[in-house]
Amino acid sequence: MSKPDFAARRQWLVRNHVEAAGIDDPHVIDAMLAVPREAFVSEVLWESAYEDEPLDPGDGRTMPQPGVVARMIAAMQLQGGERVLEIGTGSGYAAALLSRIAARVYTVEPIAQTAEKAASTLGEHGFDNVHVMHGEENHGWTDHAPYDAILIAEARPAVPKALLAQLRIGGRLVAAVGVDPDAVMLIRMTCIAPDEYDREDLGAIRVPLLPDFGELDPNAVHARPRRASES
């Protein structure tokens, strides 16, 4: 198979599925243009690498569509230089995008082979500020907390309190929350004081569902939901 013009395809994706969706964060745009999504899938999926659709790399994890990943990262409101935690490494693509904005990215993957493969791919392509750990997602990565921002890309029924506790004051957690694939909500939770979080509902989103996330704390959310437009 001849190698496609991936740079042109990245530009097409950004123009038609990121900027066209109203995402204008320059950090996100630059990261999407710089990171080769094709590097995180097998050659048989190259032709689909820059379609705005989820992909199945065959390792038990689903890569969300790139436009959705861009939307979630934009919701983190990164300015550059942050310490970021990602829950669910998968292929490593989202961590690579985050690495082009944040100073340090710590990412946790529960499947050992997936974690090993992602770490290898990230290292091979020079994403040296990403650190991958094989471990339990519920627990996060306390050694490097507190974090400026946390991303949970796969939909969960709720956000575990243990992850919220790893945010610094003023830090933001962005997550997909829901149990019905047609009713998943993108939320942002900002730590405003110890054990206090302001929640914003940012609209519906389509991401893979994680059916088993262990025991969840139903009291993890300590503030009433509010719309992003509220002040």
Contact between 101 and 28 under an 8 Å Cβ cutoff? The reply is: yes
Name which of 20, 192, 171, 5 is nearest 82 in CA terms.
Answer: 171
Amino acid at 188: R
Question: CATH number of the domain at 6-227, please?
Answer: 3.40.50.150
pTM: 0.88
Burial of 101 (0-12, 13-18, 19+ CB in 10 A): buried
Walk along the chain (231 residues) and give the pLDDT tens digit of each residue: 457 799 999 999 999 999 999 999 999 999 999 999 999 988 888 988 888 888 877 666 778 889 999 999 999 999 999 999 999 999 999 999 999 999 999 999 999 999 999 999 999 999 999 999 999 888 999 999 999 999 998 888 889 899 999 999 999 999 998 877 777 899 999 999 999 999 999 998 877 666 454 344 433 443 333 333 333
User: 195 by DSSP, 3-state: which?
Assistant: coil
